[in-house]
């Protein structure tokens, strides 16, 4: 998980997004190659912050009903393996 956090910090230059991702990973809502469901972090809705990672190409998003589901892009997967 430390590699993942560090990589996101480098990619975003922003600890907030990586902290949210790490929190969600600890809660089992984010897995490498898996799905992220929206959740709360310090009273904020995570998907609002994850949208920045979508813009960076780190996460992809699928919208179903009123929920956004996030997943790591293939490029992000490869970057994490290095």
Structural domains of the chain in order of their starting residue, each with its CATH number: 2-81 (1.10.10)
Indicate whether 13 pLDDT > 50. no
pLDDT of the residue at 12: 47
* CB count in 10 Å sphere of residue 39: 15
pLDDT of the residue at 48: 54
Residues 6+ apart with CB under 8 A from 9: 15, 18
Q: How confident is the model at residue 1 (pLDDT cuts 50, 70, 90)?
A: very low
Cα dihedral across residues 50, 53, 58, 61: positive or negative: positive
0.75 cut: is pTM over it? no
Question: Which tops the pLDDT comparison, 66 or 60?
Answer: 60
The token duo for 61 is 């998003």
């Amino acid at each position: 998980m430390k590699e993942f956090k560090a990589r996101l910090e480098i990619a975003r230059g922003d600890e907030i997004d990586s902290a949210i991702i790490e929190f969600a990973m600890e809660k089992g809502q984010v897995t490498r190659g898996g799905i992220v469901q929206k959740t709360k972090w310090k009273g904020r809705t995570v998907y609002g912050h994850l949208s920045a990672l979508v813009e960076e190409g780190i996460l992809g998003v699928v919208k179903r009903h009123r929920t956004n589901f996030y997943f790591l892009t293939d490029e992000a997967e490869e970057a994490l393996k290095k």
